[in-house]
């Protein structure tokens, strides 16, 4: 480059001498040209070494992490995975990667569009015809006759479940036939289209399960002789016609005096009781006695039940799975103090003074007035003050009991007297007293509210088929109905010992 510069200057020098005579012009022109060419050559040498200009925020902007490393100094630059050489990325592989690489696109935003309005006279979803399909919803604790569970001759059998339809049902029927198709038992119902049962038809009546008020109650299974049979459930509406919802074979066994407990023997609580006691604890076997008594297999009782002490004069025989809840309830009655004022004044007394009589926990018998087996045979429940006030198992008792507790019993909160904290109540109703000058109608409510509910028991006053305020049970229904339901009668939400 230096030689080229010298040659170029020499050429300009000769031209200048010929064109402009005199040393002054020659020297001036020579100097200007020399400096101009030097500047041009310097720029040509320096410009290729400068980095290309990068737009702000463009691809050339270093990542924050890389910039931090550069500022820290001494860190190796993070290799750019896209800057692979031909050796690292063979030509064929690179071509495949380029073809498979997704094209980067910016987010796509849908333009807001108005929902199309239905033309006048067009049917909308709201106006669409209801689904004409018919469905059967089984009741877990009261299954239909099936091959899994054998029935016993001369023993009643009750089943549950609900038939649902999008259109009013015109007919629901059940039938039992022999293996040759001859119908032996049959019951049919034509629901009133104006009634709710036309869309949701229950197969049994919870209050009177063995009366002829329900399809289940009209089926006299006790009349079937030992053998194999077929059970059929059908339903119909105008759109779907008649549909077979259930069909199964089942067996009736000859009675030998010993029966095996099946889910339908308990009023819908077989599976909840088994879950509470533990897997494999059911079934059990039993024999019928007189006047509704039953005798459970002694081996099952010895394996699953035990005795606990009580302050009520005798030991209680309870299920081993229920020992701690029973002990907790008993302890609450012994350590809890109450006061009920109003027309009568109980004074500050222990809750245990309201326990006057009891049956159970274990008590081998059927339910009152039904062939169902009582949950007492499992040692999971106890009846207290059975004959007191409104404590009998009578459906109509609920209305009276609910009014006395919700309207006539006032809770005044926790009070203290002579160093003893107690729950203070005022009763403004008209019922008389029985135990410790406490009105009889609220005695079992107080026992449940302050002792058995706290220990996890369900109260029989909340049964949907009857009102049995004497009953406190485990492994049946959710005790939180006492708090979280339209029927809830709970008043005490804070406890002295918490």
Give pLDDT, residue 118. 53
Domain match, 247 and 340 both: no
Compute the average pLDDT of residues 464-483: 95
Around 466, how many Cα atoms within 13 Å sit in the side-chain half-sphere? 18
- 244 and 343 assigned to the same domain: no
Kindly compute the dihedral angle of the four CA atoms of residues 259, 264, 266, 272, in this order, to the nearest 10 degrees: 120
Cα 371 from Cα 390, distance rounded (Å): 24
Interacting residues of 390 by C-beta distance below 8 A, sequence separation 6+:
397, 400, 401, 404, 441, 467, 469
Spatial separation of the C-alpha atoms in residues 36 and 5, rounded to whole Å: 11
Total domains in the chain come to 3
Question: Does residue 152 lie within any of the structural domains?
Answer: yes
| C-alpha count within 13 angstroms, C-beta hemisphere, residue 246 | 26
Query: Which two structure tokens, joined as six digits, stand for 86?
Result: 């031909």
Q: What is the mean pLDDT of residues 114-126?
A: 54
Contact by Cβ (8 Å): 186, 175: yes
Position with higher pLDDT, 243 vs 58: 243
Place of tokens 């029989």: 460
Q: Radius of gyration (Cα) for the chain, nearest Å?
A: 46
Which H or E run contains 473?
strand 471-473
Predicted pLDDT of residue 349? 97
pLDDT digits (tens, 9 = 90+) for 126-176: 555 667 899 999 998 899 999 998 999 988 899 999 999 999 999 999 999
**Is the model's pLDDT at 61 over the cut of 80?**
no
On whether residue 26 sits in a domain, the answer given is yes
User: Looking at the structure, do residues 208 and 344 belong to the same domain, yes or no?
Assistant: no
297 and 245 in one domain? Answer: no
Using left for φ > 0, alpha for ψ between -120 and 50, and beta otherwise, residue 363 falls in: beta
**pLDDT tens-place string over residues 200-217:** 999 988 777 667 789 999
Other CB atoms within 10 A of residue 269 CB: 22
Report how far residue 50's alpha carbon sits from residue 60's, in angstroms, rounded to the nearest whole number.
14
Same structural domain, 281 and 239: no
Q: What is the arithmetic mean of pLDDT over 351-369?
A: 91
How would residue 12 be classed by pLDDT, with cut points 50, 70 and 90?
A: very low
Indicate if 233 and 149 belong to the same structural domain: yes
78 vs 344, higher pLDDT: 344
* Residue 296 DSSP SS3: strand
Residue 434 lies in a domain: yes
Please choose, from the candidates 378, 492, 350, 357, the residue with its C-alpha nearest in 3D space to the C-alpha of residue 425: 492
Whether 32 has a pLDDT exceeding 90, the answer reads: no
* The pLDDT value given to residue 119: 59
- For residue 235, give the CATH number of its domain: 2.60.40.2550
- CA nearest neighbour of 378 among 489, 273, 280, 275: 273
Environment class of 226 (CB within 10 Å of its CB; exposed 0-12, middle 13-18, buried 19+): middle
Could you tell me which residues are beta bridge partners of residue 4? none
Same domain, 406 and 370: yes
Question: E-strand spans in 67-182?
Answer: 134-137, 151-152, 162-165, 169-178
Last residue of a domain, one of 221, 255, 289: 255
Beta strands (DSSP E) in 109-209 are: 134-137, 151-152, 162-165, 169-178, 183-189, 200-202
* Mean pLDDT, rounded, for 243-248: 96
pLDDT cut 70: percent of the chain above it? 75
Query: CB within 8 A of 153, min separation 6: which ones?
Result: 222, 224, 225, 226, 252, 253, 254, 255
Structure confidence at residue 117 (pLDDT)? 60
- CA nearest neighbour of 454 among 313, 324, 300, 260: 324
More confident residue, 240 or 370: 240
- Is residue 289 domain-shared with residue 413, that is, in the same domain? yes
For the chain, the farthest-separated pair of C-alpha atoms sits apart, in whole angstroms, at 154
Torsional sign, CA 206, 208, 214, 216? positive
Q: 446 in a domain, yes or no?
A: yes
Mean pLDDT value of segment 440-445:
96
Burial class (CB in 10 A: 0-12, 13-18, 19+), 353: middle
Same domain flag for 426 and 338: yes
* Least confident span in 48-57, 113-122, 439-448: 48-57
Per the domain annotation, does 54 fall within a domain?
A: no
Residue 19's domain comprises 2-36
∠ at Cα 358 (304, 347), nearest 5°?
Answer: 130
- CA–CA distance, 351 with 330 (Å, rounded to integer): 10
Domain end call among 255, 280, 299? 255
Report residue 96: phi and psi, to 5°.
Answer: -65, -40
pLDDT at 188: 96
Residue 191, in any domain of the structure: yes
Assigned domain for 440 exists: yes
DSSP 338-374: EEEEESS---SEEGGGG---EE-SS--BBPTTSSSBP
| Domain-embedded: residue 55 | no
Is the predicted pLDDT of residue 469 greater than 60, yes or no?
yes
Q: Which residue has the higher pLDDT, 254 or 123?
A: 254
Q: Based on the fold, state whether residues 379 and 463 are members of the same structural domain.
A: yes
Same domain for 244 and 291?
A: no
415 is written with which tokens?
Answer: 């009070």
**Are the C-beta atoms of 306 and 277 separated by less than 8 Å?**
no
Mean pLDDT of the chain: 82
- The whole-number average pLDDT for the span 51-69 is 44
- Lowest-confidence pick of 79-88, 117-126, 360-369: 79-88
pTM of the model: 0.70
**Are 251 and 271 found together in one domain?**
no
CB atoms within 10 A of CB 239: 14
């Amino acid at each position: 480059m230096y030689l080229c510069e010298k040659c170029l200057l020499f050429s300009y020098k000769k031209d200048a001498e010929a064109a402009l005579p005199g040393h002054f012009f020659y020297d001036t022109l020579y100097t200007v040209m020399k400096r101009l060419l030097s500047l041009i050559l310097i720029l040509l040498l320096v410009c290729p070494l400068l980095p290309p200009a990068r737009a702000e925020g463009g691809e050339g902007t270093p990542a924050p992490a890389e910039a931090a490393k550069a500022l820290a100094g001494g860190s190796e630059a993070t290799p750019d995975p896209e800057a692979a050489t031909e050796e690292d990325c063979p030509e064929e592989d690179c071509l495949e990667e380029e073809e498979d690489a997704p094209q980067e696109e910016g987010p796509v935003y849908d333009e807001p569009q108005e929902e199309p309005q239905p033309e006048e006279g067009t049917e909308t979803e709201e106006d669409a015809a209801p689904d004409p399909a018919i469905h059967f919803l089984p009741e877990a604790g009261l299954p239909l006759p099936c091959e899994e569970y054998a029935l016993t001759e001369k023993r009643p059998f009750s089943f549950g479940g609900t038939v649902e339809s999008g259109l009013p049902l015109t007919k629901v029927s059940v039938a039992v036939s022999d293996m040759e198709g001859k119908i032996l038992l049959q019951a049919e119902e034509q629901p009133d289209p104006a009634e709710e049962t036309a869309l949701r038809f229950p197969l049994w009546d919870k209050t009177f399960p063995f009366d002829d008020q329900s399809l289940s109650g009209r089926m006299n299974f006790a009349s079937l002789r030992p053998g194999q049979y077929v059970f059929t459930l059908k339903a119909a509406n105008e759109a779907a016609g008649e549909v077979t919802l259930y069909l199964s074979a089942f067996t009736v066994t000859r009675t030998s005096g010993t029966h095996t407990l099946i889910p339908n023997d308990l009023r819908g609580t077989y599976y909840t009781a088994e879950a509470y006691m533990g897997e494999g604890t059911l079934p059990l076997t039993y024999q019928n006695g007189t006047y509704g008594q039953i005798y459970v297999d002694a081996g099952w009782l010895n394996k699953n039940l035990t005795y606990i002490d009580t302050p009520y004069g005798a030991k209680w025989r309870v299920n081993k799975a229920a020992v701690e809840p029973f002990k907790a309830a008993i302890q609450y009655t012994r350590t809890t103090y109450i006061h009920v004022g109003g027309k009568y004044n109980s004074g500050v007394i222990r809750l245990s003074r309201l326990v006057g009589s009891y049956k159970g926990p274990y008590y081998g018998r059927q339910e009152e007035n039904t062939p169902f087996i009582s949950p007492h045979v499992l040692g999971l429940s106890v009846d207290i003050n059975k004959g007191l006030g409104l404590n009998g198992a009578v459906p109509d008792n609920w209305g009276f009991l609910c009014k006395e507790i919700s309207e006539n019993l006032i809770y005044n909160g926790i009070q203290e007297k002579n160093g003893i904290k107690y729950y203070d109540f005022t009763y403004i109703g008209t019922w008389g007293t029985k135990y410790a000058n406490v009105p009889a109608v609220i005695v079992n409510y107080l026992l449940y509210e302050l002792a058995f509910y706290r220990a996890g028991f369900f109260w029989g006053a909340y049964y949907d088929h009857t009102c049995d305020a004497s009953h406190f049970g485990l492994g049946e229904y959710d005790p939180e109905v006492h708090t979280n339901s339209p029927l809830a009668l709970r008043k005490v939400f804070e406890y002295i010992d918490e």
